[in-house]
Amino acid sequence: MTATATKTQGGGTLPAAPRPRGGIVQSVNDSLVVARRNLIRMMRIPEVVVFGLIQPIMFVVLFSYVFGGSIAVGGSTSPSDYREYLMAGIFAQTVTFATAGAGAGIADDMHKGLIDRFRSLPMARGAVLTGRTLADLVQTALTLVVLSLVALIVGWRTHENAGKVLAGFALLLLLGYAFSWIGAVIGLSVRTPEAATSGGLVWLFPLTFISNAFVPSDNMPTVLRHIAEWNPFSATVQAARELFGNLPPGYKAPDAWPMQHPILASVIWSVLIIAFFRTLAVRKYRSAAA
């Protein structure tokens, strides 16, 4: 920010008023400041991160050892094949379930009046939401690192080069970032953090289970199969499996376009979700500030 002093009629000067910088520069800087504030807050409340890790770790262990060997993928019932098939779905579920945390965090800030304090400052309107989603992205990335180590312990392996593996994780994080904007809209639309948590989870369960995350979509009823094949969640899971080299021997992808071109479909879905829900979230933020 730069300051401009204003002269009074008596020859004195008023205190310097902040003058905003260019729109993009100010927005980026303000977003990073808010993101830093949220990351510091997360570090001071480590139990939030710890408890956020428990559920995906439980899913890894339960699905690997309880269902492994009883679910056929690509004609194989090998526990190791299913474990490798499963992990991309667990990773995607983890990044999307962070939506509930994003919504609850924004709702909590609204409830405590922190958002009103931000509104009184000469900062970009979308910076509060962008900073929050960026902080959530960092937390999601750390969660994926820990979850990957757990997956390696239970026997998960990748079979592609490091570049493809990193690209797979990048697509997962892009999906998580896209869904965090859905969480932002939910957080701005409810009155309490509890409602934001419930609202952030109630639609995620059908989204993740009517997909190819845990079982192939081939044996689903026709309507559910088509929903699963065009589900943005399924596209990212399929793309991650391809990039990780985790498709089982004999596996044949469904004929639906997103399943035949999952990497491109994953990017398109995530970008569209970000564009739509970020615009909606910023409008809600502005209307609430009016």
Of the ranges 54-68, 140-154, 276-290, which is most confident? 140-154
Query: What mean pLDDT is predicted for residues 219-242?
Result: 94
Q: Considering only CA atoms, which of 93, 56, 88 is closest in space to residue 168?
A: 88
Is the per-residue pLDDT at 66 higher than 70? yes
% pLDDT > 90, the chain: 31
Q: How high is the pLDDT of residue 122? A: 73
Query: What mean pLDDT is predicted for residues 84-91?
Result: 90
Q: How high is the pLDDT of residue 258? A: 95
Is residue 31 very low, low, confident or very high in pLDDT (cuts 50, 70, 90)? confident
Is residue 27 very low, low, confident or very high in pLDDT (cuts 50, 70, 90)? confident
Is the per-residue pLDDT at 94 higher than 60? yes
Q: How high is the pLDDT of residue 75? A: 65
Structure tokens at 14: 């008023």
Residue with tokens 């309107």: 125
Terminal-to-terminal C-alpha distance of the chain: 23
Report how far residue 126's alpha carbon sits from residue 104's, in angstroms, rounded to the nearest whole number: 18
Is residue 288 very low, low, confident or very high in pLDDT (cuts 50, 70, 90)? low
Is the per-residue pLDDT at 65 higher than 50? yes
Is residue 3 very low, low, confident or very high in pLDDT (cuts 50, 70, 90)? very low
Is residue 237 very low, low, confident or very high in pLDDT (cuts 50, 70, 90)? very high
Is the per-residue pLDDT at 53 higher than 50? yes
Is the per-residue pLDDT at 78 higher than 90? no
Q: How high is the pLDDT of residue 92? A: 94
Q: Is residue 239 within 8 Å of 171, Cβ to Cβ?
A: yes
Query: Which value, in Å, is the radius of gyration of the alpha carbons in the chain?
Result: 22
Residue-wise pLDDT for 112-152, tens only, equals: 776 767 766 777 777 888 888 898 899 899 889 988 998 89
pTM (2 d.p.)? 0.84
CB atoms within 10 A of CB 175: 28
Higher local confidence (pLDDT), 186 or 6: 186
267 CB-contact burial (10 Å; exposed 0-12 / middle 13-18 / buried 19+):
middle
Which DSSP string corresponds to the chain? Answer: -EEEEEE-TTS-EEEEEEE---HHHHHHHHHHHHHHHHHHHHHH-HHHHHHHHHHHHHHHHHIIIIITTTS-BTTB--HHHHHHHHHHHHHHHHHHHHHHHHHHHHHHHHHHTHHHHHHTSS--TTHHHHHHHHHHHHHHHHHHHHHHHHHHHTT----S-HHHHHHHHHHHHHHHHHHHHHHHHHHHHSSSHHHHHHHHHTTHHHHHHSSSSSS-GGGS-HHHHHHHHT-HHHHHHHHHHHHHT-PPTT----SSHHHHSHHHHHHHHHHHHHHHHHHHHHHHHHHHH-
